[in-house]
Each structure stands twice: as C-alpha cells, then as structure tokens.
Structure 1
Amino acid sequence: MSPHHLHALAAAWSLRAARERLAELAREEAARNVWAEQLPAAPILRAPTYGSRHATGSHADPVSATLTTEEPPARNITWRTRQETAHHRLDGIARMFGIPQTGGLARIRDAIPQMLPGTARLMAKHLQDEDALIRSRDWLDLPPDREPLPGIACPACDHRTLYVQQAGPQEAWTVVCARTDNPCLCVGQGCPCGMDGAVEGVAHIWLRHVVLGAVAGAAPTQPTEGTAA
C-alpha cells in the first residue's frame, strides 16, 4: 500500500475511536434523561447587506443588517445531536466515493486498500477532517491517540520525533514523524525513509512493526554461548 493508503487507514481508525467516545457520551446523556449542557452551535452565515431584487429588475429597500447579523437563538445541542451530525457527514463521504452507506465507517475502511493512491489521498483528507472536528475543543476536546516512540530516530530526518498512532488494533498502528521546525516529507524515490511506494511531498508514515523490525534488524547480534564473539 502507498503512504496515502496508510494515512487513510490511520485516519479511519482514529475516527472510529473518536466516534466511540461520542457514542459513549450520548448513551450516558440518554441514561440521565436530562437536558445536556449548552454546547456551542455552529455560527450562522453572515453576508453583506444587499437589496432584494424584484422580477422587473429594480431593487427594493436594502435588507436590514439586523437580519443578517442576528445571533442564532439559544438551543440545546446534545451529544445525541452531535452523534447524528457525525453520522450524516460520514454518510456523505461514503456517497461521494460510491461506497454503500450500510456498514458505516467499517465499510469505508474496508474499501481503502482497493483505492487508487490518488483516491486514498482524498479519502485520508476527508477522514482526517472528520476526526479533527469530533476531537476539537467545541466537541470532545479529545487529543490524538498517539504516544512518543522513544529511543528511535526518524529514518528520514534522523530526529527523535517519532510517534506511534495507537488507534485501532495493534497490527494497524502506524508511526509518523512529528517534527515541527521543518516538516518531514518524503522526497520520492531514493528517500531514506524506505517507505513502500514512496511519494514525493507526502508526510512520512510507516506501519509500527516495520519501524520496530528495521531497528531490531539493525541492532548488532549478540553472541550466543558456544559462538565466537
């Protein structure tokens, strides 16, 4: 699989974890059977003050600016509301890529390995955006499911800025370089990253077992008993 596929799969697993937390909050809210706390609604669209147009082509009086800048009325945005919004948005992504909506995120995840790299790149972006929305401060305020990978330098930039993305089953965990001073991007064929299907300009990503296996393979072999050192 290309790096685009790995990024898309990592985003799908991360999104699943975020949606599971959202569903948990919705269930707890329903069990309490009380109004949820006031959560911020999406801001209303704002537009300049234009006049309305008649069929004859002339203009009526300008529309009152008050109508376009009035704040939305206070309303309760529950965790169930957020969950339904996330569900509808995911259905929209599935329709966009021609994936049956039945099966939800699992169906999308299963379709990723069969996608062309360019399609996987677009899917990764959509799933990353959905994950970021649910984990944002206005929603769950949930940090990414990742931990530093100590003692191992990035194969590409040699900085010790590797993180393990831990959403999903362990065999699906991936490793990324989180260097911030100079983004660690692949330069394509010949890049020291060693990624399969290296693509110029893509953020480096590896399956966790590949990185750990490479480190283990590079380690000096310890002599065993009866073997000359």
Structure 2
Amino acid sequence: MHPHHLHAHTTAHTLDTARRRLARTIATRRQVVDQPDGLRSSTLGRRSSLGGHGDPVGTIALLGTREHDPLADLAQFVGDRLAAIADQLTPPSPIDPMTRLLPLLPRLQPRAANVAARCFRMLTGRIDAALPAPPRLTAWPGDCPGCGVRLLQLHDAGPRDHWTVTCGAGCTCTGDGCPCQMPIRAQGVTHIWLRTTLTATTDRKAA
C-alpha cells in the first residue's frame, strides 16, 4: 500500500475516534444541563416569597434554556467537512460520512489520499485542541529505520490490521535508496509502516 494511503487510513481512524470522544463529551455536558437536581440550590424553597431560589418561573426558565455549546458547533463543522468530501466521491447519503469514506480510501490516487489525510489531520487537531487531555500515542520499541532516532509511535485507532507506526521525529522518505524500508518509497512522504510490516522487519534484523 502506498504510504499516502497508509496516512489516509491512519488519520481517518484517528479522526473517527476523536469524533466519538467529542460526541461523548457533548452528551455528558447535556446530561448535566438537563438534570434538574444539578441546578437546584441547597436552599431551594426558602425564598419563595421573594422569588429567587423558590421561584418556579425562574426555575422553569433556567431549565428551558440550554447555553450555546461551542463543542456542538465543532461537531457540526467536522461532520459538514466530512460530508462535503464524501459527497464528492459518492452519491449523497444520510449514512455517516466517515462510514462512506473509509472503504474508498484504498481506491484513491495517492495524491488524493494525501489531501484527505491532511484534512483528517486538521479536523482531529481542532477536536484535540477543544477537549482536555488529548490522547497520547504509544511508544513503539526500536529505532526508526529511516533516521535511526528512537521515537517510533504506534497508531492503534481502528481495526488492528490497520495499525501503523510513524516516527515522532517527522523524518521523510528520500525516495529510491532511502533506508526506511517502506515497501513503497515515496520522496517527501513522512515515514509510515504497517505495524505488522515493521514487526517483521525488526524480527529479521534481530535474527
């Protein structure tokens, strides 16, 4: 598989995981807002003659007003961008755009896969910036075959057979003759390997 396709698969699954994390955060916030007990003061009912805590009108108004949620806007933005990409490649459909896109990625031209990967990476970055404590990648043992730096990282979003490894140093392939050992060498592409390919390579070197 061309490294652009590997990057597209990796970033797509990473974005899909980030979207689910964003959706869970939005749902949790809405549960808190919609929970009456969470909005009641400990002195509820003590000031009914003066309004305030015991004023049922004020309570109803508070419960009926949901504050504007920028995370919901972000989720809508991400969904719209994905739908726009999916609609260019497939007939419009109510199916989730990422579900439509994933089977198409291997059939894209490498240059188109690269564009898709950059878009997925940008959208994931927006979600990670909006949510606390973005997930960290797992370190992968061994040195990078390309640059020799021990900064390999495992990308384990999505199905296990799609897990990939990249170099945290950001090294890129120099094309034919590059020591990176990618099955398909492509000049200028950030090094990326299927986890199983890199494992096999490491095992052969150890032997």
TM-score, scaled relative to structure 2: 0.77
Q: Tell me which residue corresponds to 1:20.
A: 20
Q: Distance in 1 between matches of 2:77 and 2:115?
A: 21
Q: Tell me which residue corresponds to 1:147.
A: 138
Q: Tell me which residue corresponds to 1:171.
A: 161
Q: Which residue identity is paired with 1:9?
A: H
2:96 counterpart of 1:103 = yes
Q: Tell me which residue corresponds to 2:82.
A: 90
1:115 positional shift = 0.6
Q: How many residues align?
A: 175
Q: Tell me which residue corresponds to 1:51.
A: none
2:69 counterpart of 1:77 = yes
Q: Which residue identity is paired with 1:3?
A: P
Q: Tell me which residue corresponds to 1:2.
A: 2
Q: SS of 2:193's equivalent?
A: strand
Q: SS of 2:184's equivalent?
A: coil
1:77 positional shift = 2.3
Q: SS of 1:33's equivalent?
A: helix
Moved over 6 A (4+): none
Q: Distance in 2 between matches of 1:212 and 1:98?
A: 36
1:28 positional shift = 1.6
Structure having the larger proportion of residues in helix: 2
Which of 185, 188, 192 is equivalent to 1:198?
A: 185
* RMSD (Å), alpha carbons: 2.0
Q: Distance in 2 between matches of 1:144 and 1:191?
A: 31
Q: Distance in 1 between matches of 2:167 and 2:158?
A: 19
Q: Which residue identity is paired with 1:95?
A: D
1:78 positional shift = 4.6
Q: Which residue identity is paired with 1:154?
A: C
Q: Distance in 1 between matches of 2:167 and 2:78?
A: 29
Distance 1:89 1:142, change over 3 A: farther
Q: Identity rate of aligned residues, in percent?
A: 33
Distance 1:185 1:214, change over 3 A: same
Distance 1:169 1:76, change over 3 A: same
1:82 positional shift = 2.9
